[in-house]
Each structure stands twice: as C-alpha cells, then as structure tokens.
Structure 1
Amino acid sequence: MRTGRRHNKVGLIILAAIPITAFVLGCWQVQRLTWKTDLMAKFEDRLVRDPLPLPPQIDPDAIHDFDYRRVYARGKFRHDKEMLIGPRLHDGEDGYLVITPLDRSAEFRGFTGNTTVLVCRGWVAKSKAAQAARPESLNTGEVVVEGLLREPWKKNSFTPDNKPEEGAWYFPDVYQMAEHTGSQPVWIEETMRPDLLASYDRSAKGIPIGRAPEVNLRNNHVQYIFTWYSLSLATTVMMWMVLKRPAGGRGRARRNTGW
C-alpha cells in the first residue's frame, strides 16, 4: 500500500522565498533605473555646456563633480611617453587606445607645479601601433585638445594587471599611468564628431580616432526589472499550483502478483 505524501515544509518555504526575493530585486532595479536615468541626465546637461579651460592643476577628488564635463587644454604631446591600452575593438577591428601625456608648462609659465595631464587620443589599428607606422599622428607643435574630463575606472576581476615595465597596458589605471609618466592623475578623452569618411582617413594614416561627445553608460535596468518581476510572477503561480493540490493524495493499493 502507498499513500500520497504531505507537502514538504522546507520545500514550501524555499518556494515561497523565491517570488518574494525576486519581487524585492525588481523593486531595487526600479530604484537603480531612477538613479541611472538621473545620472545620465546630469551628464547630458554637462555635455551641452561650453567647454571649460583646464586649470594648471586639478584636484583629483573634485573630478567626480566634473565627470563628462567638456574641457580644452593647450600644450605639447609627449610622444616619448606614449602608452597603448589594448587590445581594443573598433568596428570589429583589433587595435589600441593611444594615451599621450600633454605637457602644458609653456601655457602656464608662472606656475611651478606639474601641469601635465593624460589624454586618451583615441583608437588606432593594430597595424598602426608602432609610431613609425603613423608619423602623421606625431604632432610636435602646440596643440589644443578638446575632450571630456572623466573619472578613473575601476578594474574588474577579469582584466589582467598592467605591466608598465613591459609597456603592457590592459586597462586605464589613471593613477598608475600618471606615476609612470610623471603626470597629474587627470584623464581627458579627446572627442571628435562622428564622421565616417574622416574616420576612414584617420585609420589609414594611423591618426587616433577620438570618441563621440556623448554619454555611453550602459542602462539595462529595464530588462532586469522585467526579468525579476516575471520570475516573481511565475514562481508565485507555481507555488499556488502546489498549494492547490491536496496535502494527502488518494491511497492506491498495488497488488503484488508474484506470491
């Protein structure tokens, strides 16, 4: 004789916890969406303002309040201290980001402190990584750089450590790169208006292709909201179906014919 089992209490507790947890995570993602939307709106507002002249020295702690702010700086590139971060893909092609210190000492002759900042000039193809392959990118005169002031990045666990002594850079550690080149820990991303023909011409000559002046933060919170709320609803229905079943099933006798 075999009879139906009672509901497993531990299983029911776990099943009940899933929709509650998923619902809470969905609500949290709603808050995150609001935060990310407000943050992007703040950055967009900074983008439409006229560029600010970069002062001779910048407090790294103040950069947070100027993230994505358009700035311009005048000086000379120190190509002898150039760094390549990569590999980086651009339109499916392998290459590197070109980072060059900008020496602004001539612009601020009366200032005795360090005026050099780091400029991310843009992307070059792998075939143009060597400076000898892109002489047109090595401007030796005074230049005016317009770009976005950015906060330092945080390294994720999957990215290998930089090896400055080998010239191997895998991610933009602003403080490490500043120490390596004798610059301020200030990062400017040079910008250019999206222009397909200009990008082709730059790529062929090995001139770095700058980034577009736009906010490029990822915002996947709507998908996360849908996922968590859907999971909460689905598991709630599952729990209802389980609880709807009677706790004890009908007894069924099984006759053994092998006497």
Structure 2
Amino acid sequence: MSRPFSLFARPARALATRLRTVTPSQPGWVCRNCLRRLPPSQRRLYASPADNADFQSIVDQPAQLVRSGKQHGYGLIVLAIIPVTAFVLGTWQVQRLSWKSDLIARFEDRLVRDPLPLPPQVDPDSVKDFDYRRVYATGTFRHDQEMLIGPRIHDGKDGYLVITPLERRFKGMEGKNTTILVCRGWIPKERAPQSSRPEGLPKGEVTISGLLREPWTKNMFTPDNDPAHGKFYFPDVGQMAQHVGSQPVWIEETMVPDLITAYEREEKGIPIGRPAEVNLRNNHAQYIFTWAEKPGILLV
C-alpha cells in the first residue's frame, strides 16, 4: 500500500513547492487538474476571464449605432456646406477667368496698334477706354516738380519711381498749353538726389512714348501720401495732378528690355522704363483647380 501512496504524494509535494514559489502578484501557470485540488481562496489567484461562465468579449457584443434616433449636430451641416461653398467659389473663378482673359486680350490688341499722338486735352473719363494704348507726346520736363514714389523694388534693389510733369506747348493754340504726368521709370535709392544724376535730367524739348494708363486704386495696406513733405507711396493720379497743377493723365514711359542698357541707366541715374507689355496676372485657372479639389481635401 505504500507504493500507491508515494505515487500520489510526490505530485502533491511538487505542487505545494510550486505554490510557495509563485507570488500572487505574478501567478504562474497551473494546469487545470492541479487547479481543482486548490482551495477556493487560492484558486482565484490563477483564474482567467475565460474561466468565468458569464464572461463576454467586447468583440462578441452587438454593434450599436451612435446617435441612433437623435437629430444630427452642427458637424454634418458644416460638412454639407463645404462642397457647396467650393462649387460657388469655383464657378466664380471660372467667370473671373473669362473676364480676365478677355481683358488681357483687349489690352494686347491695343499694344500692337500704332502709337497715337496725345491730344492737347484729354477727358479723364475716357482714359479707361484707352488703357494700355500706346501714345507719344512732346514737351518739356518740369524737373523742379519731380515726385518720387517709393520704396519700389527692382531686381532685388530698393529705389523709387520717377514721376515728372511734362509741360506741352502748342503753336497757334495760346491758352491750350497743358501738363501731363509721366512715369519715367525706376532709379536706385542712392540716386534719389537730382545732383547725383545730371544725365537723367534731360533739358529742352523732348518726345516721350509710352502707355496711357488708367488710375489705380489704393489698397488698405498702403499708407497715405504726404504731398506737403514730398512723400509719395502710391501713384494717386488725381492727387499728384492737383499737387503740380497738371491734367490727371498718366503716361508710363516704355523702353525695349535690354540688360546692358538697364545697367548703364542704373549707373548714371537715368530712369529705367517699363517694357511695352501687359503685366496683369491671371491665376484664376489655378484657383479653379484649387477649389475643385478643396471638398475632397477637407472631407478626407
């Protein structure tokens, strides 16, 4: 009888030894047969969730609809507004693209025409119908009434735009003498004093050719001009014409783009005129694609 008893006693001693070496904070693995022999107080230390008959995994739980049977919040309204807003803005940019393309084509058509002599009297209200029209005029520069608009950047350098009134006299038309404003071009900042650029101050009668331009509109970020102290930040044609007593007519003198000529003019202080071309930006096609992609970008 001692032999069968020793067979059962040895596993029991091994189990007791193992239970003494296993801490409750880190319970070891015990087989199910040995676990049944433990008292209930110790059996709970080695119990797992799967041993509980009432255990239910979260993956076995039925799916629940969020906000089921409730009204939708403001988030859904915002998501619905996004594609509508993008469609409206895209449509508006299509219209702007058509308008800008027609405007540039109209200006380019005026550029290819022969230049016109500027009449003695110009109706300011009709200038918009001749914007970017090439004209020429003869007269004498009033360097004593010169105005500098700045700062203006040209090829990364700081400088000014030189605005000089052109006094025109017409033979046999006494009392018809008029003055217009001529934007002669850009000069570097160090050439602002007239004493530093004698070659840039032509004397006597001159003939200038350029583009007749419509007055600009000042944006909210540009400071106001101070004519009393000779400070001009924006080409306000009406204000500048009243300051020197000329017609509110603005001519931008042009020149053939040439790098060597531009360097020579800059060195001597002779204003660098603009090229005879349309410089309007037309980015509306890019804006159309931007707003077309915007709903998808925002909803992803």
Same topology, TM > 0.5: yes
After TM superposition, list the pairs within 5 Å mapping 1:47-196 onto structure 2: 47-105=111-169, 107-196=170-259
What percent of counterpart residues are identical? 67
> In the TM superposition, what whole-angstrom CA distance separates every residue of 1:136-190 from its partner, at most 9, and x where no partner exists?
0111111000000000000000000000001000000000000000000000000
Where does structure 2 lack aligned partners over 5 or more consecutive residues? 1-63
1:134 and 1:207 in contact (8 A); partners too: yes
Aligned to 1:12: 76
Give, in angstroms, the shift of residue 13 of structure 1. 1.5
Give, in angstroms, the shift of residue 113 of structure 1. 3.7
Give, in angstroms, the shift of residue 109 of structure 1. 4.5
CA distance in structure 1 between the aligned counterparts of 2:252 and 2:120, rounded to whole angstroms? 17
CA distance in structure 1 between the aligned counterparts of 2:273 and 2:238, rounded to whole angstroms? 22
CA distance in structure 1 between the aligned counterparts of 2:161 and 2:172, rounded to whole angstroms? 30
Give, in angstroms, the shift of residue 5 of structure 1. 3.0
> In the TM superposition, what whole-angstrom CA distance separates every residue of 1:22-79 from its partner, at most 9, and x where no partner exists?
1111011011001100100000000000000000010000000000000000000000
The TM-score with structure 1 as length reference comes to 0.87
Is 1:22 aligned with 2:86? yes
Q: Which has a greater percent of helix?
A: 2
RMSD: 1.5
Which letter maps to 1:34? S
Aligned to 2:31: none
Give, in angstroms, the shift of residue 227 of structure 1. 1.1
Which letter maps to 1:83? M
CA distance in structure 2 between the aligned counterparts of 1:163 and 1:114, rounded to whole angstroms? 28
Paired residues, number: 235
Structure (1 or 2) with the larger CA radius of gyration? 2
> In the TM superposition, what whole-angstrom CA distance separates every residue of 1:206-258 from its partner, at most 9, and x where no partner exists?
000000000000111111111111113334x55xxxxxxxxxxxxxxxxxxxx
Label 1:65 to 1:108 Cα distance change in 2 as closer, same or farther (>3 A).
farther
CA distance in structure 2 between the aligned counterparts of 1:59 and 1:109, rounded to whole angstroms? 22
The TM-score with structure 2 as length reference comes to 0.76
> In the TM superposition, what whole-angstrom CA distance separates every residue of 1:79-114 from its partner, at most 9, and x where no partner exists?
000000000000000000000000002x35414245
Give, in angstroms, the shift of residue 14 of structure 1. 1.6
Where does structure 1 lack aligned partners over 5 or more consecutive residues? 239-259
Aligned to 2:107: 43
